[in-house]
Amino acid sequence: MPPFVGPEVAWFALSPLLVLSGGGLLLLVVGALTGRWPRGLYAAVTATVAGTAAVLAAIQWSRIADDGPSTLVAGALSYDAFAQFLTITILISVILVVLLTDEDLHESDADGPEVYGLYLMAATGGIIMAAANDLIVLFLGLEALSLALYVLAASARQRSDSQESGLKYFVLGGFSSAFFLYGIALIYGGTGSTNIGRIVASLQSSVTTGGDNALVLAGIALLLVGLGFKVAAVPFHVWTPDVYQGAPTPVTAFMASVGKAAAFAAIVRVLVVALPFYREDWRPAIWLLAVLSLVVGSALAVVQTNVKRMLAYSSISHAGFLLVAIEAAGHRAGEADPGSGVVALVIYLLAYSVLVIGTFAVVTVVGRNASGDVTLDAFKGLSTRRPALALALTVFLFAQAGVPFTSGFVAKFGVIQAAVEERSYAIAIIAMVAAVIAAFLYLRIMVSVWLSGESSDVDGEPDQTLRIPIGAGLAIAAAAAFTLVVGVMPGWLISTAEAVTTYAR
Amino acid sequence: MELLVFVAASAMVLGGALGVILMRNPVHSALGLVLTLFGVAVHFVALEAHFLAAVQVIVYAGAIVVLFLFVIMLLGVDSAEDLKVDGLTIQRPLAAIIGIGTVAIVSVAVLRTRSTIAAGPALEASGDSNIRLLSRNLFSDQVLAFEITSVLLIVAVAGTVLLTRKQSGPTGARKGS
């Protein structure tokens, strides 16, 4: 046998992952060996680690623009603009969520490094999913992210609904991971490899020779079940309301931003990058998932009274919008001119991640002062008690509804435009109707905030008990500023995002 | 002979798997899992993957299921869940239909593609080639996946600490799982 030669490792290209996992590990080990750190230090260290990784990813972005994409470590990871864009999206979300978490943990006297370590490890998993060029690597990233989310959902142990949500998420998530793994096995059986580059090469030769493909088709079906669960697309959505409601609110924000971004990145990697030859087969399935998510998510959101449950159903409807972008990308997947579906998708993911964290940040602040009550009643009269907070919430809800001059409009417009470009008129119309239905839900919250009088005391004085902690205030301000800036001047973001469609295989 | 081994091992795998989900006593379910994992080991032997077969028996059938049994014993063997409670009457028939449908679809897909599935590279006959090939694959093509597994383990450790750490104050509730 020839002597063993290990694969070449481009350390700089891996640096965001190394910084994140190394920082997370250090935080856990040092945090375990020392006593309780001063208030806010855990959060500051975590945000610094995530920020460093984001800066490294931004440097890599410009290098990729110069040198072109490539693959890393024997083709296990892709080093391309898509991966870097998602990396930065995920890291921005981590920083914003960390700002929220500090107060939440301190309040329940549960300060400690574990939650922050899990955030960093979950982000590592999410970035691995976004950059994966091998289905096994993708699965491991998915598991790292999901396992961390199961634990985080149950992390408010003194509340039974948090425990319940963690357990529900764990059982259903494990079930869906099994489907995903079975799908990988069948794709391996059909193509002889789990590496996306080799899968594409194998399919290229078998499609031209007209081989039988039932195994790959069955694999795609099972992969769609697993991925559909992770993005909470109807009919795999039933876990979402319970888990979103039961989990601590910062964790819910983390799930809705990092979890969704990573899962949609995985869908792009699996369907658009690895399986463009089967686009005529998977596109109708995506179409159906998108329409069901849009309709069911919007319709059921309207009848809820708990704001976290409302936002859970609205996240299902947002998942429908994102699937519309995948459907649009499916028309020209694998061609030299890939269309604008994936560009619209990444812009939507970034905009949605920021604004959903902003929304949940306001919910955290309001819920804490109403001792955990986040029904519509808790929001009554917020405009008289805290006008600034009410204004920020209004910006986020307008953005979720897709009102012009907010990032939500830019995102929704991009998706609809991508669908219309591919002549998917039916799905574009359904998406717009669903957006109108969903707008009613956001109006309900706003009516509660602005038009309902104070429920308990009527003097109209600013309520000093409704305290906005510094971290949450910063996160809300940053998210609101981003939402408005992107909404007013979307040009730079769109032109930046246009680079993401050159994938490394 | 090969067919006989295959049928016997498959019967073990399937019988054990059915036992895991059908037995009322969780200890019996765990023992059914042992049978399944052992059957997989027999399959590995039949495919001449002797090292994997040994690892399968030592790690899975030996260590992991024993851990399962520990947990079951610690939580109490008698705490069999009553599965009779049913929320929606349509749920069970629907689950059966979808389960059988999934099995049927996958089976049909495998049967239809049986002739075109590419044969893997033949193993060399020498005694240690198994371990050699495995390690070469693990430390070249799959080295990143190998490393990411450690991220997964860190998550598991941190999660365990978070879920079992004693909380100060009277609210510190005990978490069973």
Task: Quote the tokens at residue A69.
Answer: 């994409």
Residue A10, chain B, CB below 8 Å: the answer is no
Cβ-proximal residues to A21 (8 Å cutoff; 6+ apart), any chain: A120, A121, A124, B151, B154
Check CB contact of A201 with chain B, cutoff 8 Å: no
Cα angle B123, B128, B131; round to 5: 80
Q: Could A109 and B151 be called an inter-chain contact, meaning their C-beta atoms sit closer than 8 Å?
A: no
CA angle A211, A217, A219 (to 5 degrees): 120
- A13 min Cα distance to partner chain B (Å): 13
Decide if pLDDT at A196 tops 50. yes
A188 to chain B: nearest residue by CA?
B117
Determine, for residues A118 and B110 on separate chains, whether the beta-carbon distance falls below 8 Å.
no
pLDDT value for A36: 84
Contacts of B64 (CB under 8 A, 6+ apart): none
How far is B30 from B16, CA to CA, in rounded Å? 9
pLDDT > 50? residue B96: yes
pLDDT digits (tens, 9 = 90+) for A442-473: 998 888 888 876 555 444 444 556 778 888 89
Angle at CA A145, nearest 5°, toward A144 and A149? 115
Contacts of B36 (CB under 8 A, 6+ apart): B12, B13, B16, B17, B20
E strands in A109-218: none
Question: CA A478, A444, A465: angle at the middle one, nearest 5?
Answer: 55
Residues A368-422: tens digit of each pLDDT: 877 777 888 888 888 888 888 999 999 999 999 988 899 999 999 999 999 999 8
- Residue pair A230/A138 in contact by the 8 Å Cβ criterion: no
Beta bridge partners of A78: A71
Which residues, in sequence order, are CB contacts of A270 under 8 Å at separation 6+?
A135, A138, A223, A227
Say what the pLDDT of residue A144 is.
95
How far lies A341's CA from each of A49, A464, B72, B145, in Å?
A: 32, 47, 50, 30
Least confident range of A135-139, A189-193, B28-32: A189-193
**Going by C-beta distance under 8 Å and a sequence separation of 6 or more, which residues neighbour residue A377?**
A448, A455
Confidence at residue A254, expressed as pLDDT on a 0 to 100 scale: 95
Q: What is the pLDDT of residue A22?
A: 94
User: Is the separation of the CB atoms in A505 and A78 below 8 Å?
Assistant: yes
| Whether the predicted pLDDT of B85 surpasses 70 | no
User: What value does the mean pLDDT take over residues A340-350?
Assistant: 93
pLDDT band at A139 (very low <50, low <70, confident <90, very high): very high
In chain B the first and final C-alpha atoms are separated, in Å, by: 45
Nearest chain B residue to A110, by CA: B167
pLDDT interval class at B172 (50, 70, 90): very low
CB atoms A72 and B159 under 8 Å = no
Tokens of A127: 């970035």
Cα A222 from chain centroid (whole Å): 21
A81 neighbors A500 (Cβ within 8 angstroms): yes
| Domain ranges, ordered by start, for chain A | 15-501
Q: Is the pLDDT score of B80 beyond 80?
A: no
The 10s digit of each residue's pLDDT in A243-260 is 999 999 999 999 999 999
Least confident of A102-106, A224-228, A270-274, B86-90: B86-90
Q: pTM score > 0.80 for this model? A: yes
| A 292-331 residues inside an 8 A Cβ radius of B | none
Q: Which structural domains are found in chain B, ordered by start?
A: 1-77 (1.20.120.1200)
From CA B163, how far away is CA A163, in angstroms rounded? 10
Per-residue pLDDT band for A148 (boundaries 50, 70, 90) equals very high
pLDDT of res. B79 = 58
pLDDT at B176 over 50: no
Instruction: Report cis status (omega within 30 of 0) of the bond before B170.
Output: no
Which residues neighbour A499 within 8 Å (Cβ) at sequence distance 6 or greater? A64, A65, A81, A85
Quote the CA–CA distance of A134 and A194 in Å, as a whole number: 6
**pLDDT at residue A154 tops 70:** yes
Flag if A143 and B152 touch (Cβ within 8 Å): yes
User: Which residue from A170, A156, A180 is spatially nearest to A246, judged by alpha carbons?
Assistant: A156
Per-residue pLDDT at B84: 64
pLDDT higher than 70, residue B121: no
Q: Which of residues 153-172 of A touch B (CB under 8 A)?
A: 154-155, 157-158, 163, 167
**How high is the pLDDT of residue B114?**
72
pLDDT class of A208 with cuts at 50, 70, 90: low
Location of structure tokens 């929220």: A100
Check the CA dihedral A92-A302-A411-A284 and report its sign: positive
* Cβ(B40)–Cβ(B16) below 8 Å: no
> Side chain identity at A389, as an amino acid letter?
L
| Mean pLDDT in residue range A132-145 | 94
Distance from CA of A95 to the nearest CA of B (A): 19
For residue B175, the model assigns a pLDDT of 38
Position A319 confidence tier, pLDDT thresholds 50, 70, 90: very high
More confident residue, B110 or B35: B35
Contact flag A158-B167 (C-beta cutoff 8 Å): yes
Kindly list the distances between the CA atom of residue A264 and the CA atoms of A3, A36, A118, A323, in Å, as whole numbers in the listed order: 41, 37, 21, 8
Q: What's the per-residue H, E or C state across A209-233?
A: HCCCCHHHHHHHHHHHHHHHHHHCC
Report helix angle A135-153 to B143-164, nearest 10: 10
Look up the ipTM and state it.
0.87
- A213 has a pLDDT exceeding 80: no
Convert the pLDDT of each residue in A10-47 to its tens digit: 889 899 999 999 999 999 999 989 888 888 899 999 99
pLDDT value, residue A124: 95
Check whether A206 has a pLDDT greater than 80.
Answer: no
What does the pLDDT read at residue B42? 93
Q: Minimal Cα distance from A28: which residue of B?
A: B158
Give residue ranges of B with CB < 8 Å to any A CB: 105-106, 108-110, 112-113, 115-118, 132, 136, 139-145, 148-149, 151-152, 154-159, 161-163, 165, 167-169, 171-173, 175, 177
pLDDT confidence tier of residue A212, bands split at 50, 70 and 90: low
Average pLDDT, chain A: 89
Per-residue 3-state assignment (H helix, E strand, C coil) for B145-161: HHHHHHHHHHHHHHHHH
pLDDT of residue B120: 57
Q: Which residues of B touch A154 (CB under 8 A)?
A: 163, 175
β-bridge partners, A70: A79
Distance separating alpha carbons of residues A169 and A177, to the nearest angstrom: 12
Residues near B148 by beta carbon (within 8 Å), at least 6 away in sequence: A128, A137, A140, A141, A144
Q: Which residue has the tokens 């963690």?
A: A166
pLDDT band of residue A203 (cuts 50, 70, 90) is: confident
% of chain A at pLDDT higher than 90: 57
- Residue A458, pLDDT score: 44
- Under the banding of pLDDT at 50, 70 and 90, the label for residue B123 is low
Question: What pLDDT score does A393 carry?
Answer: 92
C-alpha A299: how far from its chain's center? Answer: 22
**What amino acid occupies position B160?**
T
Label residue A457 left, alpha or beta by phi (over 0 means left) and psi (-120 to 50 means alpha).
Answer: beta
> Hey, is B86 helix, strand or coil?
coil
Mutate to test the interface with A, among B90, B91, B141 (most CBs of A within 10 A): B141
